[in-house]
Amino acid sequence: MNKPNIAILGATGVVGGEILKILEERNFPYNEIKFLASARSAGKKIEFKGETHTIIEATPEAFEGINIVLASAGASTSKALVDEIVKKGAVLVDNSSAFRMEKDVPLVIAGVNDEDLKWHKGIVANPNCSTSQLMLPLKPLHEYGKIKRLIVSTYQAVSGAGKEAIDDLYDSTKASLNKEIYKYKKFTTKPIAFNLIPQIDVFCENGYTKEEMKVVHETKKILHLSDDTPISCTAVRVPVFVSHSEAVSVEFEKEITPEKAREILSTAYGVIVIDNPEKSEYPTPIEAAGKDPVYVGRIRKDLAFENGLALWVVADNLRIGAALNTVRIAEKLVEMDLLCHSERP
């Protein structure tokens, strides 16, 4: 099937808007397209490829005749609609956390573990945004040296929390500069303007947040690491609109010199190396915003581990961390002729 019928679930959201942009940029081939959202948004108009379309309410009937559903409407919506979507023969490519750790659902980053698409049963999960950008440079390094231990600190833009968070950073920054009182909307536990918040999502019993544990569990699933591989993550929300950054320390079973790492990463899928510290050349969030690659810099030997590397990884969280990977997965499903599936039990 070269031109599937597709539906965009959550078309009016931040990620949904990015999906539409990327579908147009990449000239994704389709026969029919539907734009779906909640009853609240039904009837509204949306622009795509120079034409005006009407938003349809995401009811079970709306998925009739659809082959691929690109979903970014949240976990509760995906869970509520998944049975009808799969029953009608469509493949759900889901951006939420609803199905990521289910054993019969592949968790896929296009270009990293495409082979896992072969065993899908109607659902393919898109990883957490922080995990997605981390895997593109780690996969080729892991293939060369085998990951033994991983420590990650993330510096995550507010767009990862949605449109309200973007508005909150803008409004609170403006209010602070104008010396006005601003009642922040509490998408975080503290004001975000001119601040760093070491909490994303709720805390688990082990003292880590759910966001941090997503990185731990998803990394193991995507790279097929053993359950006892030590991985630790600290996730921090920062006053940046777009692009997540990550400080990565990784220990390998065999040595990978910084020179060898640069060589490996310079030809890696979806990765661009910017690493010339003497000239202050390294990636930053502003440079990554609106672009598709994962940028890697500050490549050096990690002094804490015998076979360790330290990296700085930056990417647009709305694109590689969500929308771009969603579209790439859809492209792979078409390319690998994997739109047919058996229903989930």
DSSP 260: H
User: Which amino acid would we find at residue 80?
Assistant: A
129 is catalytic: yes
Query: Which residues neighbour 58 within 8 Å (Cβ) at sequence distance 6 or greater?
Result: 9, 36, 37, 38, 73, 77, 81
Neighbours of 89 (CB within 10 A): 16
Nearest to 215 by CA among 156, 272, 261: 156
**What pairs with residue 296 in β-bridges?**
273, 313
> Are 211 and 155 in contact, with CB atoms under 8 Å apart?
no
The catalytically annotated residue of 120, 142, 217, 244 is 244
- CA–CA gap between residue 157 and residue 317 (Å, rounded): 8
Angle at 269 between CA 133 and CA 300, to 5 degrees: 65
The catalytically annotated residue of 129, 142, 217, 233 is 129
Helical spans, DSSP H, in the chain: 14-25, 75-87, 129-145, 163-177, 210-223, 258-266, 285-288, 324-335
Neighbours of 272 (CB within 10 A): 17
Give the residue numbers annotated as catalytic, written as ranges.
Answer: 129, 244
